[in-house]
A and B are shown apart, each in its own frame.
Chain A
Amino acid sequence: MNTLFIIAGAVAFVSAIMTVTRSNAIHALLYMVVSLLSVGMIFYILGAPFAAALEVIIYAGAIMVLFVFVIMMLNINESMSEEKQWIKPTVWTGPAILTFILAAELVYALRQETTGAFRIVMVSPVEVGISLFGEYLIGVELASMLLLAGLVGAYHLAHHIGPAGKREGDES
């Protein structure tokens, strides 16, 4: 248990450092996805499966895709000439190795859980939902207003980019 946690934490830390120190934005995003996945693994080890699922789906899925979308739209790295470098194995070996470590760890943890040797206190999604829509109902309302404000703000900001110069489209 402790070693699982330490390995996943080391992967998260190393990939976070690699994210901050890359020069190419796409490479940084690769490492960032690995970091988010390993934090999701840590959530699972800690007994928060719902938070782990949300981490993978929303953070590593939605938010990172938004980043990829914007980077591709801005066309920061003049693509075609550099595309050959991207396919060279040196770029993706680091994230691939880290992801394989995480995958091995996940398989090990799942096998341990089915045999019953995995003693953790799970906080189930049912409890989270009851707490979320019970005592934290005001917070849910505030979060919905925040998300609406974010939606309107993003639309408003990206809407005005269009007519002045080249059309960038609306985002989010």
Chain B
Amino acid sequence: MTTTLEDLSRALAAAVEEGGKSVVRVEGRRRLPASGIAWSDDGVIITAHHVLERDEGITVGLPDGTEAEASVVGRDPSTDTALLRVQGKHLQPAAWADDSSARVGHLVLALGRPSDTVLATLGIVSALGDAWRTPAGGSVDRFFQTDVVMYPGFSGGPLVDASGHALGLNSSALARGISLTIPAATLRKVAESLLRHGRIQRGYLGVGAQPVRLPEEIASKAGQATGLMLASVEPGSPAGSGGLLLGDVLISLDGVPLRGMEDLLQALSTDRVGKTVEVGILRGGQMSSQKVRIEERKKEG
């Protein structure tokens, strides 16, 4: 007969073993190797951007003990994620937990494979962050903050739940001093974009704007107190071609209320690039809307 404590010990070790089948070693920097998560069975691996100091000569160590050369599919420094591909290797893709299942206080494990074997640390979910814009301008969905110890080489590895199912990707570079986990929802968006385009597309409107208070009558009709007044419109930009004028106050974009600059940046996301959207404006005291086609921002301005 085993005690409950032995059962706990065994269950935690089993979760590590299960989750560890999808954890790989990523050798892409001079110092210590880091970790990565098998994304698809045809050789795609997701890892942290900051652990890849180079684009060539990256080696991946697989759970079966073999090694393979990996190429960089793409990087998104704004969320500290990157995709790799290895050829001719079968990977066991991570089993992902239900996005909404995690609660503050849940037991979680951070996994990594800086050497041949999988390693683990235990902790609990400390907080569930709101959607968040990173210092580098990336957008991260509800993220996890935990008290797991990030052992050397754990960056790019998964946070797993008590059954070994992945909750997200651990990064020690996005915010200082805390263990932060990028959730599966964000990883899916980034991976999709990187696989399709090799980069993260950001929307481009071509305006300079500042938040202004809306007249009371408009505010109550629109359900928001502030909008964005256009201080400049670049000629030939999506905004210019779409008929937006200097002095217009933007109220919404594709149904998303624009209360401040943050809202506008969020709204100009990958999925709206190339789409024609309704922009709600206030012009001459009247609310109306214009159709604007969002283009891709080519270079950071």
A and B: real partners? no
